[in-house]
Structure 1
C-alpha cells in the first residue's frame, strides 16, 4: 500500500465522520416540529410588526432557541408560562416552583441570545 493510498483512505474516513456528525447535529437542531416553529414565529411577528424584516428576525430567533434548548424543555417552559398566568391557587405552584423557574430561566436565556443574534 502506498502513502497516497493510505492518505486517501484517511481522508475518506474523516469525510464520512464529518458528514455523519453534521447529520446528527442537523437532526438535533431540527427536533422542533414545524408547527412549534410557526407558532413561535407568528407570536414574534405580532410582537415585532408584520414586516419582511421581522419574518427574517423571528425565524432566526426560533432557530437560535432550537439550537440552545431541546424541544422537550421548550415545551415545559412554554407550559409553565401559560399555566402560571392562571390566577389564584391553580397557577400558584407554577409561579413558585424551583423546577418551573429553572425551565423559564433556560428559555429566557435562549431568547436573550436570540435577541442578540437576530435583532
Structure 2
C-alpha cells in the first residue's frame, strides 16, 4: 500500500470517529464500560487543552490527550483525581503558602498522580511528560 493510500485511509478514519461517537459507537473503549468514573465534561476539556499546551496543538493530540484523561478516569475516582492533580500542580509552590503541598501525604499523592499520568501518556502514544513537580 502506498503512503498516499495510508494517509487517505487514516484521514477517513479520523474524520469518521466523531460520527461514530455521535451514533453511540465508542468502539468498546468507553470508560463507563470498563468501570470508569464519571468526570465532568469541563474537567475533561480543561485536561485535554492543558495536555495539548504541553505537547503541541496538533490535531492528533486531541485524540491522544483525550485518551489520557479517559485512562485516568478508568483508574481514578473523580475526587481522588482532583486531590492528586491539585497536589501535583502546586507541589513546587514556594514559601509558606506551598507548605501544605509539600507534606508527606501531599508528596505521596503527587507521586501516585504522576505515575498514573506517565502510564497513561505512554499507552496513549504521547512522549514523556515533564512537569515541575516531577523534577
For 1:57, the equivalent position in structure 2 comes to 64
TM-score if structure 1 supplies the norm length? 0.70
Q: Deviations over 1:46-84 (max 9, x none)?
A: 111111111111000111111111111110012223443
Structure 1 unmatched runs, 5+: 1-24
Relative contact order higher in (CA < 8 Å, ≥ 6 apart): 1
Give me the whole-angstrom Cα distance separating, in 2, the residues matched to 1:93 and 1:69: 22
* Candidates 100, 108, 119, aligned match of 1:113: 119
Root-mean-square deviation (Å): 1.8
Structure 2 unmatched runs, 5+: 1-30, 126-135
In our comparison, the structure showing a higher alpha carbon Rg is 1
Give me the whole-angstrom Cα distance separating, in 2, the residues matched to 1:84 and 1:49: 24
For 1:6, the equivalent position in structure 2 comes to none
Give me the whole-angstrom Cα distance separating, in 1, the residues matched to 2:104 and 2:124: 30
CA contact (8 A) 1:41 1:55 kept: yes
Count of matched residue positions in the alignment of Structure 1 and Structure 2: 94
Instruction: Give 1:93 deviation, angstroms.
Output: 2.5
For 2:88, the equivalent position in structure 1 comes to 81
